[in-house]
Amino acid sequence: MPDDSPAPLVTDPFARFREWFAEADAREPDANAMTVATAAPDGRPSARILLLKGVDDRGFVFYTNKTSRKSGELEANPHVALLFHWKSLARQVRIEGRVESVTDGEADAYFASRPRISRLGAWASDQSRPLDARLTLERRLAAFEAKYPGEDVPRPPYWSGYRVLPASFEFWQNMPFRLHDRTLYTRTPDGGWAIGKLFP
């Protein structure tokens, strides 16, 4: 049974995230799945599930095709929101901040770690663009399989990643009778964190 007592106060939100993520990773099949919400320049929001591929004391990293809809929105408006929901633990973490691009070295290293078919798929897919038929994608994939027959599949120039630099974290823990425990961390001008509670 998940623990429904309030979480003890931790002054570093990255440390708290790592604790919660480790618990989730031991119980949830896709603990690194997160909702990534962006907004177009006219304010229209969009959201999708992506996989977290790295976290350090700077931020949270995910990878994508830089010609995709989400990338276009992030290039125009770098503000982003992430949401992790771990049902078995009755917890969620909300993160808001802005993105920066990862380095070419980081993108190269992660791309090389992917299965070959995923690397070929990055070449074959015009992500977010209209597709007339599944057969078109399959033919494009076959063409790139022929072009790169071995394990050496280079990273496409339009494929890279973003690091979300948090301005705030909210840690939400389910409590009985919907009297949930919510802890908010907000980045201060000196780079520290202000910590407070929110009504459920």
C-alpha–C-alpha distance, residues 105 and 160, integer Å: 10
Amino acid at 175: M
C-alpha–C-alpha distance, residues 59 and 164, integer Å: 5
| 114 is a catalytic site residue | no
Q: Which one from 116, 178, 182, 187 is the annotated catalytic residue?
A: 178
- 32 Cβ partners below 8 Å, 6+ apart? 21, 25, 51, 52, 53
Q: How many residues does the chain have?
A: 200
C-alpha–C-alpha distance, residues 80 and 89, integer Å: 25
Q: Crossing angle for the helix pair 116-124 and 134-147, nearest 10 degrees?
A: 120
> Are the C-beta atoms of 120 and 187 separated by less than 8 Å?
no
CB atoms within 10 A of CB 140: 17
User: Active-site residue numbers?
Assistant: 178
